[in-house]
């Protein structure tokens, strides 16, 4: 029996992809004997699901509007797993069809997606990472003279080398912080790791070069590199423009997050570090 989850799907009604999200949610609940969260009722009456939400959460969105994810964010719910059906179908080269009532072929597809969502972390993670990593980030800022440093307060872990890891399920994307990219200035080169490479915590997962300096990107987490971001190798200034989302460097399948975490800073602690650094900042 897989671990029990609370499953929060979107309403899944008026686009063909919506009913698929709903079917997947129901299948997941059935398979793990979990708890289903009605999104509209949860929005109106969150206390109704207080007990159910003691379980780890899976969020299932149908279309790109991502109502379920928005709802989870608004209520400060942390999803352990996520599935954005439209995007996943696109990745798989599948179609949601036109009909609002899924045919047997689509139901079989839903069954496969539900099984994968509950399957081994590595496989499940591939289903939701793209959408989850693309979610908007809220920043705190530290201002020093004309410089403003952004620090994401939720969902990111940092090391004192000014590199971050954004963890989603069993995976993490890593990159450099806003402070580090401003300290380096305009980036001219970004070296990526090899997919498949095993990384220890604090290994160099790549490097960045600017007119001022070359700096290793020190991985906050251990794991196997499962993806790299070719966009930053081709256009390193993406890291200058958006270091925390589009500027990710590598994606790792995590090896031992709990141990790694003991040596990392959360947003609050990193904010304090940047405040301290900013006081001495000389661009």
| Eight-class DSSP state of 104 | H
In whole angstroms, give the CA distance from residue 101 to residue 238. 42
Nearer to another protein, 68 or 176 (CB): 68
Nearer to another protein, 11 or 207 (CB): 11
Least CB distance from residue 137 to another protein, whole Å? 19
Q: Which is nearer to another protein, 45 or 195 (CB)?
A: 45
The DSSP string of 130-167 is HHHHTS---EEEEEETTEEEEEE-SSEEE-TTSEEEEE
**H runs (alpha helix) in the chain:** 17-32, 39-44, 67-74, 85-92, 104-118, 121-133, 178-184, 230-234, 237-241, 257-261, 267-279
What is the rounded CA–CA span in Å between residue 14 and residue 18? 7
Among residues 67 and 271, whose Cβ is nearest to another protein?
Answer: 67
Instruction: Identify which range of 22-30, 88-96, 263-271, 272-280 contacts another protein by CB under 8 A.
Output: 22-30
User: How many residues line the site for another protein (CB under 8 A)?
Assistant: 28
Residue 250's nearest CA partner among 189, 197, 213, 180 is 197
43 binds another protein (CB under 8 A): yes
Residue 13 CB, shortest distance to another protein, in Å, is 4
What CA–CA distance (Å, rounded) separates 91 from 113?
12
Question: x/- site string to another protein, residues 195 to 234, per CB under 8 A?
Answer: ----------------------------------------
Smallest gap from residue 148 Cβ to another protein (A): 30
Question: Would you tell me which residues interact with another protein (CB under 8 A)?
Answer: 9-15, 18, 22, 25-26, 30, 36, 38-41, 43-45, 65, 67-68, 70-71, 99-101
């Amino acid at each position: 029996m897989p671990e029990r989850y609370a499953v929060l799907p979107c309403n899944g009604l008026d686009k063909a992809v919506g009913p698929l999200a709903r079917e997947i949610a129901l299948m997941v609940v059935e398979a793990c004997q979990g708890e289903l969260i009605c999104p509209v009722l949860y929005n109106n009456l969150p206390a109704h699901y207080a007990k159910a939400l003691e379980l780890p959460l899976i969020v299932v969105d149908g279309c790109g509007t991502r109502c379920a994810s928005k709802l989870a964010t608004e209520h400060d719910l942390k999803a352990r797993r996520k599935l954005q059906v439209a995007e996943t179908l696109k990745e798989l080269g599948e179609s949601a069809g036109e009909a609002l009532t899924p045919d047997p072929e689509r139901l079989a597809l839903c069954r496969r997606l539900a099984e994968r969502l509950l399957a081994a972390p590595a496989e499940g993670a591939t289903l939701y990472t793209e959408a989850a990593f693309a979610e908007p980030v809220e920043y705190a800022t530290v201002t020093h003279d004309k410089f403003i440093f952004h620090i994401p307060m939720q969902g990111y872990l940092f090391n004192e080398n000014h590199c971050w890891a954004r963890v989603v399920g069993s995976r993490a994307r890593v990159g450099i912080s806003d402070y580090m990219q401003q300290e380096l200035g305009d980036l001219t080169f970004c070296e990526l790791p090899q997919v498949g490479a095993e990384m220890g915590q604090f290994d160099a997962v790549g490097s960045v070069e600017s007119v001022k300096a070359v700096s290793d990107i020190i991985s906050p987490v251990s794991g196997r590199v499962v993806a790299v971001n070719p966009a930053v190798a081709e256009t390193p200034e993406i890291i200058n423009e958006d270091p925390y989302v589009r500027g990710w460097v590598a994606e790792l399948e995590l090896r031992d997050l709990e141990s790694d975490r003991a040596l990392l800073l959360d947003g609050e602690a990193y904010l304090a570090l940047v405040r301290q650094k900013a006081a001495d900042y000389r661009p």
